[in-house]
Amino acid sequence: MIDPVCGMTVEAETAAAAWEHAGIVYYFCSVGCMEQFRQDPDHYLAMDPGDRRM
Ligand SMILES: [Zn+2]
């Protein structure tokens, strides 16, 4: 699983947070990443992996 916000690899069992969007569950390294994703999921899903910034 890849955290769509920061690009970190996270395991489903150990992820700090999870959020379902459009029928797909996304996992996050932290609640902060989940909160960012919740506010603008399409932005993070459209982002090129090489264009991620911390
Ligand atoms: Zn993250």
Local structure of residue 18 (DSSP, 8 states): E
How far away, in angstroms, is 24 Cα from ligand 1 center? 17
The total number of structural domains in the chain stands at 1
pLDDT band for position 48 (50/70/90)? low
Higher pLDDT, residue 38 or 52:
38
Q: Model confidence over 5-35: pLDDT tens digits?
A: 999 999 999 999 999 999 999 999 999 999 9
Residues spanned by the domain of 18: 1-54
Query: 37 phi and psi, to 5 degrees?
Result: -65, -45
Q: Which burial class, exposed, middle or buried, applies to 21 when counting CB atoms under 10 A from its CB (0-12, 13-18, 19+)?
A: middle
How far away, in angstroms, is 13 Cα from ligand 1 center? 15
Distance of CA 52 to the CA centre of its chain: 12
pTM attached to this predicted model: 0.82
Q: Ion ligand 1 — residues with CB under 5 Å?
A: 3, 5-6, 8, 29, 33
Per the prediction, the chain carries an average pLDDT of 90
How far away, in angstroms, is 12 Cα from ligand 1 center? 13
pLDDT of residue 51: 61
CA distance 12 to 42: 21
